[in-house]
A and B are shown apart, each in its own frame.
Chain A
Amino acid sequence: MRPREIPGVASVIEAGAEDRVFDALLLLGPLVIVLVALLHRSILTEIVAGGYIAVFVLYTLYQGLS
């Protein structure tokens, strides 16, 4: 089964900025929030959330500067 065949994924991929990294961030985002809500504040959850934002910011800059 390809990722595109998972319910909901196809519509995310077809919309938006047509960029796989941003698509992946959008699909993973709700899971990160659920993780943070369930595991509460810890080093692990802070690293995951911080990593998510770092990828978003750095990739946006990379896209613009490349």
Chain B
Amino acid sequence: MSGAVATVGRDVGRILEALGGLMLVSLVVPVVWGEYYALPALLASAVVPLGVGRLLYLRFKSADAPGRLHGMIVAATGWFSVGLFGALPFLLIAWSTQMGVPGLATPSQTATLAAFTDPLNAVFESMSGFTGTGLTMTDNEEVLPRTLQWWRTFSEWIGGVGVIVLTTAILSRPGSGSLTLYESEARSEKIHPSIVSTVRTIWWIFILFTVVSILALWLAGMPIWGAINHAMTGLATGGFSITDNSIATYDSVTIDFVLLPVMLLGSIAFPVHYLILQGDLRNFYTDLQTRWVFGYMGAGAALLWGFLYFGGAYETPFGALRYGLFQFVSAATCTGFQTAVDATNVALGRWPAAAQLTVAFGMFVGGAAGSTAGGIKLIRGATLAKGIRHQISNVFYPETAVRRLEINGRRLNEGEASREFMEAAIIVVLWISFLVVGTFVLLLVLPAGEFSLANVVFEVASAQGNVGLSSGITGPTSLPQVGKVAFLFHMWIGRLEIIPVLVTLRTVFKRGGLYA
């Protein structure tokens, strides 16, 4: 047995044990809401990953400590396994309701919940949650049992912390954007020297921000259950809602504007939050990514406002500002909350084409590396932009000139600059390649003439960018089975920033097994 298999098996086992523990904690929800019929299903859902995880751990507990390669494979297989086992509450609660639980009052089945009796729909919802995407197989979230509303929210929240830990503590490498956060001359190295204390601090910040967000939304007028769920999914930039029309259900200017800072908090790198909480407010403008979060979201929202107001989508400047600002921030932070719906104003799908394209661009770029946001990440956009300018201006200098590329306060020599530029370029090229392949697949399987090319590109970009805004394609019946499987892959690679998934697949297929 390869030593790497043992290391990966042991760590994936621990991840599954943790997943089972989270399901056990969630047993409080059906008890509080009196949904006792959901208890056996949730308990059974917890026992499976706990059992499998325990077996893996006991079998491989003496395995070697993981290296970087193992870290990538553990992240990719762990995330996939969590998506798979995390589907059990959806599947089992849907079947419990379908068949009835002896001795416990069970509500009648709804079409929304019945969708989860299909295992693929359940896995889709779970993967969408744990990757922080927010695309859903439900057609009316309001009628879901509170237990499942919570599990969807909890999966995004946990996934949000997971991706911060992944990018800031485990997979940080030159060019990833995460190492840049640490190596900046403007600040002292990492949050903490060890991974364990870094993870603890990330949890500390995340829980503190969650509490503040919950109370802010409640003060803005949201009922407490809605505030808890939307604060958690907003901060995790996941975007699952417990209402049918997302945030538009509340039709409240105050709630819209209170959610903006919640989503922005989620899209700023958590090492920067740590420094700000320690009193170093300068990071709002000295950190490249944070500066860009505000700069490009401000510029994008202003552009969108122009398209919406002068394009005639909204009659008043304030209407265009309210919906344009919210939707651009929602897209660029990769949250996916929606306020632009026909029930209260003008649906996003009916906005002028230029406005929709602006939103799509926001989804593509995303937020900061080291945050919960998706997309290619701001640091890569900045590295590419500065790198291209550096390469072009090289022509105007003598060959003997020693030039350095400056990114986020770091002065890179030729070798470092080339390495960072190449990795950023590779990820962007891969991102676009998978977007193109996904678009082809979806065009092949969707009914001809039902959706435009723009709709399809928008939907695939939304899945791969872990955004969750939909042009109407995703749904239990509207998205064909092949499309659902393709989207599972897009959400998975998008969350892990592609490379770890490719490393895992290469390891499995190329070598016929794991590296020793």
Chain A: residues with CB nearer than 8 A to chain B?
11-12, 14-19, 22, 25-26, 29-30, 32-33, 36-37, 41, 46, 49-50, 52-53, 56, 60-61, 63-66
Q: Which residue of A lies closest to B228 (CB)?
A: A33
B interface, size bucket: 20 to 34
A53 to chain B: which residues have CB within 8 Å? 212, 215-216, 219
A17 to chain B: which residues have CB within 8 Å? 201, 204-205, 274, 277-278
B218 contacts A60, C-beta separation under 8 Å: no
B208 contacts A29, C-beta separation under 8 Å: yes
Enumerate 19 A-B pairs (CB-CB under 8 Å) in ascending A order.
A15-B197, A17-B204, A19-B278, A22-B208, A25-B211, A26-B204, A26-B207, A26-B208, A26-B211, A32-B211, A33-B211, A33-B214, A33-B215, A36-B215, A52-B215, A56-B208, A60-B277, A63-B281, A64-B276
Main secondary structure of the interface of A (DSSP, over half): helix
**How many contacts A-B (CB < 8 Å)?**
78
Q: Which residue of B lies closest to A34 (CB)?
A: B224
B203 contacts A32, C-beta separation under 8 Å: no
Chain B: residues with CB nearer than 8 A to chain A?
197, 200-201, 203-205, 207-208, 211-212, 214-216, 218-219, 224, 228, 274, 276-281
B279 contacts A37, C-beta separation under 8 Å: no
A15 contacts B219, C-beta separation under 8 Å: no
B212 contacts A16, C-beta separation under 8 Å: no
Which one, B204, B224, B276, contacts A16 given CB within 8 A?
B204
Q: Which residue of A lies closest to B204 (CB)?
A: A16
B197 to chain A: which residues have CB within 8 Å? 14-15
Q: CA separation between A46 and B218, bound complex, in Å?
A: 9
Also in contact, A66 and B279, with CB within 8 A (given A12-B204, A29-B207, A56-B212): yes
Q: CA separation between A36 and B279, bound complex, in Å?
A: 30
- Chain B proximity of A19: nearest CB distance (Å): 7
B201 to chain A: which residues have CB within 8 Å? 15-17
Also in contact, A15 and B200, with CB within 8 A (given A60-B276, A63-B278, A64-B279): yes
